[in-house]
Structure 1
Amino acid sequence: MNSSSYASALIAAQDAAGTQHLPPGTLYVVATPIGNLADITLRALHLLRVADVVACEDTRHTQSLLRAYGIEKSGASLMAVHQHNEQEAAQLVIARLREGLRVAYVSDAGTPAVSDPGARLVAAVRTESLPVMPLPGASSVTAALSAAGAVDESGGFVFAGFLPTKTNERAQSVQALALEPRAVVLLEAPHRVAALAGALEVLRDRPLTVAREISKQFEQIVTLPAEAFPSWLAADPQRTRGEFVLVLHPLPRAAAGEGPDDATLRTLDLLLAELPLKTAVKLAADITGTPRNALYEKALERKKQE
């Protein structure tokens, strides 16, 4: 797609955001598309056009992105701020802000500072009592959650991001997730997704939404039991390609008066293996919403079978 495709968008951006106040000496945290270039906001287009400095994860990538929209920036106005230099580069950004310049920060894709560089930069700027203004937009996390249907007004979710890469540490993290009653969002790279799928298999029939290549040509979103994830990946080599966002659905909450379901009993078993009976029962009841008496009876049955 060439820059002429966005000529009318730049005009619309000027019309929509041109009269908005953009304070000088401010760091603007700008979300950029995670795949489809059309997901840029009019406000982001305008800000990137008028920013004095664009700090970015990769200057070459960002230069290409800007040119796709018909925005020309000199190499001198682009500043590299990535995971390897973020602490030091933050001081350069702060210096520009103190000069009264408008600095936009973008990561390679999506919303900066969410499993991307940017958090240290924002923290450093705020420590200096300088203003930070977010320009919201594309986010793989919220996109996956919206398609999973796993969070309602009575729940919430936990953003776990990337789990440890070492096998034992990853397995321990998954065991902890097994006890988390809320929805959990995970991120994974294509070369590690098979290993993660194997680790999640122990969660058995807990629903898992797998979102791959969100907003791109080969986008794929499916919901399946966690134990079926490895076989789903293995069924087609194409399925291991692209960036992954996974949504582990919340634990079911048993209705009052009902006996514990399978997921609740697995939670109870995990707790009984590590804790005294009464403590395990209390925690299982708090996590799953199952009546404590029903869990206590099941716990006693399990202890007798040992």
Structure 2
Amino acid sequence: MKTQSSFAKSVDSGKLYLVPTPIGNLDDMTFRAIKTLKAVDLIAAEDTRHTQQLLNHFEIENKKISFHEHNTQERIPLLVDKLKNGENIAQVSDAGMPSISDPGKELVRACIDADIPVIPLPGANAGLTALIASGLAPQPFYFYGFLKRKKNEQIDELKNLNHLKSTFIIYESPYRLKKTLSNMCEVLGNSRQAVVCRELTKKFEEFNRGKLSELLNWATENTPRGEFLIIVDGNSEDVNDNENDTFLTKMSINEQVDYFISKDMKTNDAIKKVAKMHGVKKQEIYNLYHQI
């Protein structure tokens, strides 16, 4: 076990400060974040050009060094050596909290292993900002971040997320939003409640609330622009884990109904359950099952 006393005077090394930056509106920068960026010896930035715009706005003139996903292994030994020599470093991403969906966790781990204090500052976070305005249950919640891009991998991820009773948070690109919503309809059902948020804290901030099928229609009829989040309601069904396994999804509609009947469920209840799984009206499954 290791104990970190963040502000102990006996620490000889420098400190790594994790400094959040605004996700859009520059007024969301905290006084402490500005003070810290002015006080440190070096700022490790995901994109130095992007960070320079922020620094210019707040008249911060400290030195910068690039630290992003493509130079992580090269930069970490250099930054750790500087910290060991007593320099204080602030690490920032392009927007929001460092390490969440941006580089940073590897540097944090290296500092912890080297007994260098890691000091987090509170600040802007897109996931929580969207969650509290979504209208869906804010707790418990599950932050997932970005889904994988390939359809089969994304489908597998969504099947796992379908087990969750809690609200969950997804980040998504405007270019993949429609495909992701389509996959969500396929796995989670058309009727699952969700919220698509875009451009949080910015001029064109927007919340679209409704069923996944309605949100897919919106994404199809419009041209999504900006940074997106999808907040999805948890699975309220009292479903056995085995009932969502891959073997069940490979069954035909009739086989699914028969499966639930084999679990001592009445035929009409089994039909209703399968209808809810697929996000369709009970009558559709009833007609298919009874070959009407």
Scaled by the length of structure 1, the TM-score of the pair is 0.75
Query: Are the equivalent residues in 1 in contact too, given 2:159–2:244 (CA < 8 A)?
Result: no
1:70-99 CA-to-partner distances (Å, cap 9, x unmatched) read 1123xxx21111011112211111111111
Structure 2: state its 5+ residue gaps: 1-6, 251-262, 275-288
- For the pair 1:114 / 2:100, whether they are aligned, the reply is yes
Aligned residue type for 2:15: T
Partner residue in 1 for 2:38: 49
- For the pair 1:35 / 2:21, whether they are aligned, the reply is no
- The CA RMSD measured in Å over matched residues stands at 3.0
The partner residue of 1:273 within 228, 243, 248 is 248
Further displaced range: 179-188 or 110-119? 179-188
Structure 1: state its 5+ residue gaps: 1-19, 255-263, 276-294
Partner residue in 2 for 1:297: 265
Partner residue in 1 for 2:212: 226
Partner residue in 1 for 2:231: 247
Aligned residue type for 2:103: P
The partner residue of 1:235 within 210, 221, 229 is 221
Partner residue in 1 for 2:65: 79
Partner residue in 1 for 2:54: 65
Per the alignment, do residues 25 and 179 of structure 1 end up closer, same or farther by CA in structure 2, a change over 3 Å counting? same
Aligned residue type for 2:161: L
- Residue identity over aligned pairs, in percent, reads 34
Query: Are the equivalent residues in 1 in contact too, given 2:15–2:83 (CA < 8 A)?
Result: yes
1:242-278 CA-to-partner distances (Å, cap 9, x unmatched) read 1111111112266xxxxxxxxx599946677179xxx
Shift of 1:125: 1.0
Per the alignment, do residues 108 and 296 of structure 1 end up closer, same or farther by CA in structure 2, a change over 3 Å counting? farther
| More helix as a share of residues | 1
Shift of 1:60: 1.2
- For the pair 1:150 / 2:136, whether they are aligned, the reply is yes
Further displaced range: 89-98 or 30-39? 89-98
The partner residue of 1:92 within 44, 59, 78 is 78
Partner residue in 2 for 1:215: 201
Query: Are the equivalent residues in 2 in contact too, given 1:58–1:82 (CA < 8 A)?
Result: yes
SS state at 1:204 partner:
coil
For residues 269 and 104 of structure 1, the distance between their equivalents in structure 2, rounded to whole angstroms, comes to 45
Aligned residue type for 1:178: N
